[in-house]
Amino acid sequence: MAKSYATCATEGCTNTILFIEQNRKLADRKAAWAESEGFICSDCQEKQRQAENSKAAEQNQAAGRPTLIGSDKQIAWAEKIRAEKLETVRQAKSGELDTMYFDAYFGGSYQAIAIDDPQIDYSIELLTSQTSASWWIDHRDTKVGITLKELFTKHPPQASVSSDEQAVIDDIKTESTVRPENPISETIAEISAHETSIQVKFPEKREDFRLLMRKHSFSWMSDRWQRNLNTRAGEPADRAAEIGHILLGSGFVIRIYDDAIRQSAISGKFEHEQTRWITVYISGKEQGRLCIHWGRDEDYYKAAKRLPTARYAKPDISVAIEQYEEVLDFAELNSFAISPKARSAIEAAKAARESALVVHVELAPTKKHGDDGKPMALDVPADVEIDDALRD
């Protein structure tokens, strides 16, 4: 191994930078290159870093930004990060920087933050008010647009209300809240029905609540439980009342602002969800066949599998459309609903069957002599003469 040294480029510094390579020529070449590029030693690098951090701290203090909290080393590093981030924001606001820098991957898709969006100024205030040195360090590599979006989502602006308005709000919340006799938690599950979904806000982390939500097809969506509804799920109001009824019965306090839905949740008088369906496959391997689908807590596999042409199509059973009569009988016997598309497919199959040519065929006899498995007897004449040519 060969060693070579490059002199630190900082004026007045006598430190050297060591290069170790397999041969002298390569080591000397790297040392010469380092000197030509103006490399500085680790001591000078640390001094330069401290100077940059001190300058950033002075800038932040002059701008009236809050004092950071953390260890001395954390604060020194965070001061520089904060100054750089807020300078980027300033440049974007002033038009010096392309506002596309604020594009952020947020909520599952790319969303551009318009520089004149009202949420920008509020988000910048949130960003500037961060006093944790470790927070700035954690976000040092995060794009500014993403950071602003995250802050706005986690800390949405709260509209100021008067004491009279707050009293009205409190009264509405009280009259919209329903408690079971023996609640297992004082955290309120706030339920709301939307056009294509049901939402449940429950800020407490409880495993029993999570399992209950998952059991009824709800998914966690960053700040709430949500279930997206398709056309087979029924009316959103019924589904909201149903989950409210289930939560009350499980010992949870609920809040529903819609009076009709709230009363249905208490009484249990709502249209229960239909979980058993006959549908039709519109694509894939099973296309054109009927689908027998049942709820998560039900089991109709064996009964459905006995139908003619039935086969397993995870997690359902697929049956040929030509067997629609048997499927309809099965549906009626077991209270399965027929989807509109399945109904149309069945009507089309029925029409095709009725329009097919119908004939009466009588099979012709096919049995021949010898079909009984015995050789046919030869006809032997009564008088047999021998040809003269065959005589001795």
Name the burial class of residue 181, with classes exposed (0-12), middle (13-18) and buried (19+) by CB atoms within 10 angstroms of its CB: exposed
pLDDT tens by residue, the chain, 392 residues: 788 878 787 888 877 777 777 788 888 887 788 778 778 788 778 777 777 767 766 776 676 778 888 887 888 888 888 888 888 888 877 777 655 445 444 444 445 555 556 677 888 888 888 888 898 888 888 877 778 878 877 887 776 677 888 888 889 999 999 999 999 999 999 999 998 999 999 999 999 999 999 999 999 988 899 999 988 888 999 999 999 999 999 999 999 999 999 999 999 999 988 889 999 999 999 999 999 999 888 899 999 999 999 999 999 999 999 999 999 999 999 999 999 999 999 999 999 999 999 899 888 876 665 566 666 666 667 776 766 766 66
CB–CB of 116/87 below 8 Å?
no
Partners of 17 in beta bridges: 6
Question: pTM value?
Answer: 0.48
Architecture of 175-267 per CATH? 2-Layer Sandwich (3.30)
Name the burial class of residue 268, with classes exposed (0-12), middle (13-18) and buried (19+) by CB atoms within 10 angstroms of its CB: middle
**Alpha-carbon gap, residue 231 to 271, rounded angstroms:** 14
Quickly list H helices, 250-297.
259-267
